[in-house]
Structure 1
Amino acid sequence: MNEPISWVVAYPEIFLLVMSAVISLVDVGVKSRLRDTTYVLSLLTLAVVAYLLGASAASGETLRSFNNMVVSDPMGQWLKCFAALAMFATLVYGRRYAGDRDMLARGGEMFSLALYALLGMFVMISGHNFLVIYLGLELLTLSSYALVALRRDDPQAIEAAMKYFVLGALASGFLLYGMSMVYGATGSLDLAEVLKAIAGGEATLKGSAQVLVLGLVFVVAGLAFKLGVVPFHMWVPDVYHGAPTAITLMIGGAPKLAAFAIVIRLLVEGLLPLAVDWQQMLAVLSVVSLLVGNLAAIAQTNLKRMLAFSTISQMGFMLLGLLAGVVAGDSGNMANAYSSSMFYVITYVLTTLGTFGVILLLSRNGFESENITDLAGLNQRSPLYAGVMAICMFSLAGVPPLVGFYAKLSVLQALLASSHPLYIGLAVFAVMMSLVGAFYYLRLVKVMYFDAPTQTADIVAGADARSVLSLNGALVLVLGIVPGGLMTLCAQAIAALLA
């Protein structure tokens, strides 16, 4: 007998959906150039949603409903809370940028689509069924395609949207085909039932072992595209470069949290007995991503393309944490390994927000601050912006005592704790690639502090954007000095998931 539906499990999503619809209707009557009413309502919605999710996550409860298709657990609730806060910061940073480029002149679609994209992330993170996860993924990606093409008079943005759409459809096909093969082998779309069927040997007894492994290959390929790791990275530099910078941040920020969540849901909660197979695939993806991402970033002169290749290498580093969970059949290191990856992806998103926040606030009407040379002498123009960007660059490079250092250290510690020669070798390789990556991060710091300014225009930013940027930079520094709280939060969330 099916359990009764408990709507409490999905109340943040319901609230977000209702408010997204209300904001879309209210925006019809808004006439201001920067859509003031729409903007304020969107921020209030995100703040309330983040509070509800934080309170739910702090309770530590794990609830299921809708016939086990939806789960509310600490990991999911914290990731959704951080995704809402990331979208809050994104809208604050990107509002003036969008207004200067007439992206808000015809309507506040940017705010509405951002909220619908966030709703898709929430559904992805809470999904405990293949179809629910896929529905959330499609809601996110369809909103993202429209956001990239929001500047309808910009050929570069339209080209980026077309590339994103075509490659995104291909990746969605991979993921859906893989899910269908796993369903064919196990007879269920529910992750718990899939895990039970594989662990109990039922899929093997049915003679479906080959189908199951082939389905796993397609699932990993689809997940790799969403993470933007090599060789499924082709869309990342083009979309990052071609999309309006505010939209680039929407794609490169909060969605990484949702992508991490579905990796955990599908591979750990559903396909853990096949860990030997998917860990080998992730190992290859992480190695080539670290190599290609870091080496390609060195050659870039466009700041957004450099950060795109940086993202590829950072996601490769995050995948390393997922490799050390199951070692030679021993799952004792799972909580340590997966919590290190969760900590890494949260701190990466925090740092990315600060980095793109500076780029957005330095941009002005008719000028895109997206080349490395555009930041020359920034310290002489604005010590605050130069300081925040330097903190973010040092963090991405893994320089102590910033939070990026502890993120890398936690992943390396998880690899070393496995005591497996291969993983120890991967840890050494990751350190070497981090040294390579430090070159292009520190090059930007050198340009800001030691080169002569090439821009002399005044930097104009609202009090809201300056305040959020200052808080953003302070968090990167403070969480590096006292990382224990966030590390404990991640460890408890993963422990509750595995329990």
Structure 2
Amino acid sequence: MNWNWTDLNIAAATPEIVLLTGLFAVLLADLWTSDENRYITHYLSIGVMLSAVLGQLAVWSSEPSYAFSHMYVVDGISQLGKLVAYLGTAVLFVYAKPYNQMRGIFKGEFYTLAMFALVGVSVMISSAHFLTAYVGLELLSLSLYAMIALRRDSAQAAEAALKYFVLGALASGILLYGISMVYGATGSLNFAEIANASELQNVNGWLLKLGVLFIVAAVAFKFGAVPFHMWVPDVYQGAPTSVAAFIGSVPKIAATVFTFRIMVDGLVYQKFDWQLMFAALAVASLLVGNLAAMMQTNIKRMFAFSTISHMGFILLGFLASVLGVQAALFYAITYILMSLAGFGVLMLLSREGHECENVADLAGLNQRNAWYALLMLLVLFSMAGIPPLMGFYAKFAILKALMTAEYAWVTALAVYAVVMSLIGAFYYLRVVKVMYFDEATDHTPIAEQPMAWVLSLNALLLLVWGVLPTSVLEWVKTAIERTF
């Protein structure tokens, strides 16, 4: 492929260039930073995140543009997705500092691996070609494998990393196999050209259908949808809470936009085929996720199974029209806010020698610190979809989109989703009951942390944007309009 400077359009990748430059600066600075001065790496990493945000805002465009010979796209959905990812990672760094210090993992590797993963997220979000999408996915996945095993003295973390690595490698192979079939059927790996070939019916229909099947399986693995969910609870439980918080938040926006790129941009004329598969995945994820979460005593595993059910809701959004894609993106942003706040409370309540990871560890939290109990209550009520919190409006947006779908069976799934939400509310309310009505078994004072201010703002946004969701919905709506 012959490139010239006009085709490259490097300015479109300004956020990624800023992020990579800052990443290398952090990597070099950390080499000469002692453990006592590791806070330099911490604050420098947060500065890199904010610089990436400014880099994205500096090249903000209302019209889609392409780079690297149409292999890279910058449009409304990519710009919003990157902003959410950068800001979410900056918030995570704030939450993780005291937790990592107590666990002996307050090291530069945590920050550099997270930023390498974020580069992969950015590439996935802006991919307009299967090759760039795959490169971004692998960069994200390889970084996560190493982050999970960051606690070298933990056999549980090593086991979780190995499980994720083996299953992730299998999913990557399945994705590559599907991509090869799509290429054989259409003669292209560019999403726009694949869609154009399908429209002109210049494709091998059966080979393309088989390729779609394999690609959907790989996408389901990244979402953690049933039956490709085996890695989720083990990784959430085995990984350090700071790493589990990252896995359970930022990659979700990448998975949502990644799915949009492949399915809506590239395989739009095979929509009926992949929508049927998405419906089956969503139904199974809502059922298994909610029922399994009810039986968990480990709150990190409970969050893992609840994540599976939430991903089912996002998959339901892709069954509707443009309104459904808008609702899915809004749900992904909402879930990132909820997940960051939920894991933030767990990190805040953990201390040296004690890991807050069981539901029983939250017993009597209201007696020990009423404010932290309130923050956790807001998170749990939002995840359960109780009004007027943001999680309720996210689920309502999905249900509203399903009611406008062209197929009656899609509309019927809205009733099923409501029933599953009612079942799911049980295990969230059980934790609330433990916090407010059970006697505290641990009377150790909860240390005050500066991160509590950021955590408070994070949780309160779930209430504010639940009562006044119009602003976030407008951002999402504008992003979608600037994409199509």
| TM-score class, shorter | over 0.9
Partner of 2:257: 261
Partner of 1:332: none
Aligned equivalents of 2:453, 2:57: Cα separation in 1:
22
Partner of 2:194: 194
Aligned equivalents of 1:12, 1:55: Cα separation in 2:
9
Counterpart among 80, 92, 95 of residue 93 in structure 1: 95
How many residues align structurally? Answer: 481
SS in 1 for 2:66: strand
Aligned equivalents of 2:475, 2:11: Cα separation in 1:
23
Q: Give 5+ residue unaligned stretches, structure 1.
A: 326-334
1:222 aligns with 2:208: no
Equivalent residue letter for 2:64: T
**C-alpha deviations, 1:170-208, integer Å up to 9, x for none?**
0111111111110111111111111111111000xxxx2
Identity %: 50
Shift of 1:493: 1.2
Equivalent residue letter for 1:139: L
Shift of 1:460: 1.9
SS in 2 for 1:4: helix
**C-alpha deviations, 1:400-423, integer Å up to 9, x for none?**
110001000000000111263212
Change over 3 Å in CA distance of 1:403–1:56 after alignment to 2: farther
Shift of 1:56: 4.2
Partner of 1:40: 43
**C-alpha deviations, 1:330-389, integer Å up to 9, x for none?**
xxxxx2111011101110111111000000110111111000000011111112211111
Shift of 1:141: 0.5
Aligned equivalents of 2:448, 2:101: Cα separation in 1:
13
Partner of 1:368: 355
Equivalent residue letter for 1:143: S
> Superposed, which structure 2 residues align to 1:175-324 within 5 Å?
175-203=175-203, 208-324=204-320
Partner of 2:79: 77
Shift of 1:461: 4.1
1:163 aligns with 2:166: no
SS in 2 for 1:202: coil
Equivalent residue letter for 1:480: G
**C-alpha deviations, 1:395-444, integer Å up to 9, x for none?**
01111110001000000000111263212210000000000000001111
Answer whether contact 1:60 1:74 (CA < 8 A) is retained.
yes
1:51 aligns with 2:54: yes
SS in 1 for 2:441: coil
Partner of 1:65: 67
Shift of 1:49: 1.1
1:174 aligns with 2:174: yes
1:389 aligns with 2:391: no
**C-alpha deviations, 1:184-238, integer Å up to 9, x for none?**
11111111111111111000xxxx2111000000000000000000000000000
Partner of 1:346: 333
Partner of 1:328: none
- TM-score, normalised relative to structure 2: 0.97
Shift of 1:32: 3.3
Partner of 2:10: 7
- 277-286 vs 186-195, greater mean Cα deviation: 186-195
Partner of 1:141: 141
Change over 3 Å in CA distance of 1:113–1:11 after alignment to 2: same
Answer whether contact 1:50 1:81 (CA < 8 A) is retained.
yes
Q: Give 5+ residue unaligned stretches, structure 2.
A: none
- 361-370 vs 88-97, greater mean Cα deviation: 88-97
- 447-456 vs 229-238, greater mean Cα deviation: 447-456
Answer whether contact 2:18 2:51 (CA < 8 A) is retained.
no
Answer whether contact 1:114 1:143 (CA < 8 A) is retained.
yes
SS in 1 for 2:73: strand
Aligned equivalents of 1:233, 1:34: Cα separation in 2:
40
Answer whether contact 1:33 1:99 (CA < 8 A) is retained.
no
> Superposed, which structure 2 residues align to 1:433-472 within 5 Å?
433-463=420-450, 465-472=451-458
